[in-house]
Amino acid sequence: MHFNVNSPFWRFMDTLVRFTELNLVYLLCCIPIVTIGTSSAALYSTLFQYDQHDDVPLVKEFFRRWKKEFKQSFPAWLIFLVLIAAVIFAITFWSQLPMKTGLSYVVLAMMVIFCVFLATTLEWFFAIEARYSNKFWRTFQIAFQMPWMTSAILYTLALLAIDIAFATLAVFTHVIRIIAIFFGIAWIFYAKSLLMLRCFDRIDHPNKDHSFPSVRAVS
Q: Say whether pLDDT at 88 is over 60.
A: yes
Domain boundaries, the chain: 8-204
**Max Cα-Cα span within the chain:** 76
Closest by CA to 200, choosing from 217, 181, 188, is: 217
SS3 132: strand
Beta carbons of 128 and 143 less than 8 angstroms apart: yes
Closest by CA to 140, choosing from 160, 161, 117, is: 117
Q: Say whether pLDDT at 99 is over 90.
A: no
Mean pLDDT of 72-89: 95
Closest by CA to 129, choosing from 146, 117, 114, is: 146
pLDDT digits (tens, 9 = 90+) for 38-59: 999 999 999 999 999 888 999 9
